[in-house]
Copies of this chain bind each other. A is one copy, B any other.
Amino acid sequence: MSESTNIKPVAKKSISVIQSEVQSTNKIALSVDCVIFGFEDNKLKVLLIRSDIKKYKGMWTLLGDLMQPDEDLDQAAYRILSERTGLDNVFLEQVHTFGSVDRHPAGRVITVAYYSLLNAQNHKLLTEANELHWHDVKEVSDLAFDHQEIFETCYKRLQKRILENPLGLNLLPKKFSLRDLQNLYESTLNTKLDRRNFRKKFFAMDLLTDTNEMEEGVPHRPGKLYQFNYKKYEKKKKSWTGIDFSSVGGSD
- A→B interface (CB under 8 Å): 25-30, 67, 69-74, 76, 94-101, 108, 110, 112, 153, 156-157, 160, 241, 250-252
- Since A28-B29, A99-B112 are in contact, a sample of 18 more A-B pairs with Cβ atoms closer than 8 Å, ordered by chain A residue number, is A25-B27, A27-B69, A30-B30, A67-B110, A69-B108, A70-B101, A71-B101, A72-B99, A73-B98, A73-B100, A73-B110, A94-B96, A97-B112, A153-B250, A153-B252, A156-B241, A157-B252, A160-B241
A69 touches B28 (CB 8 A): yes
Checking B72, B95, B108 against A100 with a beta-carbon cut-off of 8 angstroms, the contacting residue is B72
User: What is the CA–CA distance of A70 and B26 in the complex, to the nearest angstrom?
Assistant: 10
Complex interface: chain B residues within 8 A of A94 (CB): 96-97
If A241-B156, A252-B153 touch, whether A97 touches B69 (CB-CB below 8 Å) is no
Closest B residue to A160 by beta carbon equals: B252
Closest B residue to A25 by beta carbon equals: B25
A73 touches B97 (CB 8 A): yes
User: What is the CA–CA distance of A219 and B48 in the complex, to the nearest angstrom?
Assistant: 65
Complex interface: chain B residues within 8 A of A153 (CB): 250-252
User: What is the CA–CA distance of A110 and B28 in the complex, to the nearest angstrom?
Assistant: 11
Checking B69, B71, B95 against A252 with a beta-carbon cut-off of 8 angstroms, the contacting residue is B95
A97 touches B97 (CB 8 A): yes
Checking B26, B73, B96, B100 against A99 with a beta-carbon cut-off of 8 angstroms, the contacting residue is B73
> What's the minimum C-beta distance from A1 to chain B, rounded to whole angstroms?
25
Name 28 interchain pairs, CB-CB below 8 A, sorted by A.
Answer: A26-B69, A27-B27, A27-B69, A28-B28, A28-B67, A28-B69, A67-B99, A67-B110, A69-B108, A70-B101, A71-B101, A72-B99, A72-B100, A73-B97, A73-B98, A73-B99, A74-B99, A76-B99, A94-B97, A95-B252, A96-B251, A96-B252, A97-B97, A153-B250, A153-B252, A156-B251, A156-B252, A160-B252
